[in-house]
Amino acid sequence: MNRKPKIYITVLSTIFLSLLSIPVYAQAPTVITAEVDRSTLTTDEYLILSVTINTGSAAASEPRLPALDGFDIVATSTSTQLSIINGVVNSEKVFHYTLHPSAAGEMTIGPILTDQNGQAYQTAPIKVSVSQGTGQRQSPPQPAAPGFPSLPSIAGFPSLSGLLQSFGLDNQPDIQGPVEPLDSAKLPSELRENEYLVEAEVDNASPYLGEQVVYTFRYYRPASATGRSIYEPPEFSGFWVHPETSETQFGGQFAGRKIHMTEIQTILTPTILGEVEIDPAKITSEGDIFSRGFTIQTRSESISVQPLPEGAPQDFSGAVGNFNIAAQVDLEQAKVNDAVTLTVTISGEGNLETFTDPQWEVRPQWRAFDSQASTDIQVEAGTIIGTRTIKQVLVPTTDGELTLPSIEFSYFDPQAGTYQTARTEPFSIFVEPDGQAPAPVSIEEQHSQAGTTGSLLPIKNTPDTDFFPSSLINKPGFWLLWLLPVVLIFSHFSWQKRRENILDNQGTRRGRKAAKKAYQALKKKNPESGGYFNAVGHILIDYLSDKLDRSVSGLTQAEISGLLLAHGVDHDLVKQVRTCKTISEMAQYAPIHDVNTGQFHQEIKSLIAELDKVL
Amino acid sequence: MKHNLLTITLIGILLFGSLVAGIYSLASSDSFDAEAMEVANQLYSTGSYAEAGQVYEQLLSQGMANSSLYYNLGNAYYAQGDLGRAILNYQRASRLNPRDPQIRENLALARTQSVNEAAVASSNPIQSLADFSSSWFTLNETALLTLGLWFLLGFLFIAFRRIQPGKMRSFTQYGLILTALIFLMMGISLGTRLYTEQIRPEAVIIADQVTINSSPGDEFTTDFSLSSGAEVEVLDVQGSWAHLALPNDILDGWIPLSTMETVSQMGSFDKTIF
């Protein structure tokens, strides 16, 4: 083949393929774009940044925002657009960010990035000019409504919206139950620009301490809104909060749209004086399968709580509102020791749940038991109304006409701005002298009741005898008693062992008593009597025999000395023993006149004492 | 021999004399306001059950713990339809006087009225022993019996060591073994009851209905619930939540503390803490 036809074929093929790719390139949409709803704003206003990602048929991943210096993200949401062109489904997801500028100046929102099909894309930077505002921050504009994306209709095909509705997947209203009609004249003007709006207010910005305040929260939204919305009330620090809130649903038309409104009322009672701030209340919408949720909140509310005026009555116990008091007794005639129930009822509107019950005097003729109170309240038109009932059991202790004096109840009326005192009428009860306790039910009656009817057995008329009314195991003395047998056993066996040791060693026993025995013997001997020296010699020998645990009477002086030395007695003592023994032996044969008997007596005693230390 | 017998007798007198003296010194007799009880009884008999209960509660709060008071209070609550508090007070009365037939009858009646399932007897022999002991003896009685056996054990041990071999000594030996066995049983029973009182105190549900949660917190609800009068055991307390178990650990979960009260008022979950 010639070269020229080959070249022509190559060039024509290239041109043809290029022409074919043009529609592809022409049809390929921009992957990511970003725009703002305004380019100039003040620090009081908000900016909505919308980032659109066109993914074709693939799912869109979250765009990566740059560091938004100078802006705070207040809310986020998403919405999705589907389109079908020439049989090709195209998905476009829009990410909305509500931004609030934190300072004035020229701001730049940097490129926003995304990765689609393995490729990176980015937007162009956006310049925004922020000027200083007055400080009166506006309500944030609402991001794009959640709910189903708008679905175009296609000629020749049923609308997808219609198809979804036939499957029940269309927009369902989020309100259940009765709906009151909306008064469009009372709606806030911000609702014209915002589909979603929250607001809060109090009915009294300067209440008295203890005066009721109604906190009203309202949440406006399109009637077509779906998804769950969660109400987060404020903390209400500084207030007592009535546990039940009232919730009312409203619906109607406004600015050509069908809207719903939920109103939640909470009754508060301020408990501290001065400026008290109520934090913003929030609504968090969880969104649905096509859109992300969002959170919006109200402004803070400030309340100035006024102190109650001076001059409160002495019995004032913190009741604020408008009240009446009534009292009654269940018996107008009784006997001594009968029980009479006094019922005091306080009714009206105000802080029934928080004031202290009134106290009243009980005269000496009565014995009073602790009172018990109960409260029955309902909320009407944002006001707590009800009764507080106090019951007290009284027992007359004397007979005659006894009086229960008037009971006073003071309260502060905020409408009148003054303290009021309501009082009951006094009661007279005629008490007869003989009051007897009811006859006790017999044991036979009790058993017959239980056996035949199975009904409850009656009460006991007398207390049981409890020898140990309180718990023994909580007393330390109980646990100390457990040691007693142990101590006794230990002592017993210790004593027994010691006794056995002593009995087994007679010699030791004798030796321990030798000195005492010798002293007693010496005491009996009169130094002036005849045979004194002889007797003392025997006493000394007996002593040495007991101490050495052997008889020494037949031993010689030398043998005795040797024994003593072997037992550790020193030479001086041994010499004294020999001297005493010698004098004693000599006295057997002849009287001794050159030895002072008294001195000798003392010397013998000292000698025994010294020997006792060593032996 | 005579000397030994004399010594043993003296030891016995010393030992048991100390025991009796010690017990008498621990006994206390609180003054009881019988007049107030009559007033409350009168209110009850005229149908003023709430007021009668009020007076009974006041007497109990003044420290006059008495089985009759608890029993009457149980009756007052039963008459008002409050099964939970009725069972609770019958249980307290039973703790102080377990052999009283009236208390047993009314407690059984209240339990039949309760919609909760009756507790199954424990298969654990030690727990069964403790349950048997608690159905016949108060805790104080069990403690005293155990203490008395301990003293007897000590006395027999000393006697056994002192007596010469022979019939007398064999007799003493058998007595010692028997006493040791009974002491062991009573000791286990006492120990188990004390352990249970401290570690797993019994409680009664006093709310009309309470949902059992899987964890402490309102968001952890389950499909299980208990009605007033259900008898449970408390395993733990965290903040305002109590971890409980049904007897024999059939089920366990968490409920608000305010929906139950413990039977014993000596444990750490005293009602005054609530």
Same domain, B172 and B105: no
Same domain, B93 and B134: no
Q: Is the pLDDT of residue A150 over 50?
A: no
* CATH number of domain containing B78: 1.25.40.10
Same domain, A210 and A112: no
Q: Is the pLDDT of residue A99 over 60?
A: yes
- Total count of residues recorded for chain A: 615
Element (H, E) at A258: strand A257-270
Q: Is the dihedral of CA A561, A564, A569, A574 positive or negative?
A: negative
Same domain, B46 and B89: yes
Please give the mean pLDDT across all residues of chain A.
Answer: 79
**Which of residues A271, A305, A339 is at a domain's end?**
A305
**Which of residues A393, A409, A432 is at a domain's end?**
A432
Contact (CB<8Å) B54/A369? yes
Same domain, B63 and B131: no
Cα A7 to Cα A12: distance, rounded to the nearest angstrom: 9
**Which of residues B113, B140, B169 is at a domain's end?**
B113
Q: Is the pLDDT of residue A71 over 60?
A: yes
Reported as half-sphere exposure (CB side, CA atoms, 13 A), residue A112 has a value of 24
Nearest of B62, B123, B131, B125 to residue B94 by alpha carbon: B131
Q: Is the pLDDT of residue A448 over 70?
A: no
Model pLDDT, residue A206: 93
Q: Is the pLDDT of residue A450 over 70?
A: no
Model pLDDT, residue A439: 43
Q: Which residue has the tokens 């206003």?
A: A45
Model pLDDT, residue A205: 92
Q: Is the pLDDT of residue A153 over 50?
A: no
**Tally of domains in chain B:** 3
**Radius of gyration of chain B measured on its C-alpha atoms:** 23
Contact (CB<8Å) A437/B18? no
**For A599, phi and psi rounded to 5 degrees?**
-65, -40
Same domain, B96 and B130: no
Give the strand pairing for A40-42 and A126-131: parallel
Per-residue pLDDT band for A424 (boundaries 50, 70, 90) equals very high
Residue B7 domain-assigned?
A: no
Same domain, B208 and B147: no
**For A232, phi and psi rounded to 5 degrees?**
-110, 105
Same domain, A112 and A85: yes
Average pLDDT over residues A574-599: 80
**Tally of domains in chain A:** 5
**Which of residues A412, A432, A452 is at a domain's end?**
A432
Minimal C-alpha gap between A292 and chain B (Å) = 24
Q: Is the pLDDT of residue A23 over 60?
A: no
The DSSP output letter for B271 is G
Q: Is the dihedral of CA B95, B101, B102, B104 positive or negative?
A: positive
Contact (CB<8Å) A458/B105? no
Minimal C-alpha gap between A489 and chain B (Å) = 7
Same domain, A287 and A328: no
Model pLDDT, residue A121: 85
Model pLDDT, residue A189: 81
Residue A71 domain-assigned?
A: yes
Angle between helices B139-162 and B125-136 (to 10 degrees): 110
Q: Which domain holds residue B164?
A: 125-199
Same domain, A382 and A291: no
Regions of chain B short of the pLDDT cut 70: 1-2, 28-30, 115-123, 265-274
Reported as half-sphere exposure (CB side, CA atoms, 13 A), residue A73 has a value of 15
Same domain, B177 and B214: no
Contact B55, A369 (CB under 8 A): yes
Query: A95-114 in b/e burial notation, b at 16+ Cβ within 10 A?
Result: bbbbbbbeeeeebebeebeb
Q: Is the pLDDT of residue A155 over 60?
A: no
Per-residue DSSP letters for B202-214? EEEE-SSEEEEES
**Which of residues B113, B140, B161 is at a domain's end?**
B113
Contact A266, A245 (CB under 8 A): yes
Rounded-to-5 percentages of helix, strand, coil across chain A: 25, 35, 40
Q: Is the pLDDT of residue A538 over 60?
A: yes
Q: Which domain holds residue A382?
A: 321-432
Q: What are the tens digits of pLDDT across the range A373-401?
A: 888 888 887 788 999 999 999 888 888 99
Q: What are the tens digits of pLDDT across the range A460-511?
A: 888 877 666 667 888 888 888 899 999 988 988 898 888 877 766 777 778 8
Strand order from edge to edge, sheet including A294-297: A229-232, A282-285, A294-297
Same domain, A549 and A594: yes
| Cα-Cα end-to-end distance for chain B | 65
Nearest of A88, A115, A145 to residue A290 by alpha carbon: A145
Q: What are the tens digits of pLDDT across the range B52-105?
A: 999 999 888 888 888 999 999 999 999 999 999 999 999 999 999 999 999 999
Contact (CB<8Å) B147/A481? yes
Model pLDDT, residue A441: 40
Per-residue pLDDT band for A60 (boundaries 50, 70, 90) equals low
**Radius of gyration of chain A measured on its C-alpha atoms:** 56
Residues in chain B with CB shorter than 8 Å from the CB of A338 are 42
Q: Bridge-partner residues for A114, per DSSP?
A: A121
**Cα separation values, A90 from A78, A101, A144, A150, A292, Å:** 17, 35, 20, 13, 20
**Global pTM value:** 0.58
Q: Is B4 on the interface with A (CB under 8 A)?
A: no
Cα B268 to Cα B273: distance, rounded to the nearest angstrom: 9
Residues 77-96 of B with CB under 8 A from A: 78-79, 96
Residue B74 domain-assigned?
A: yes
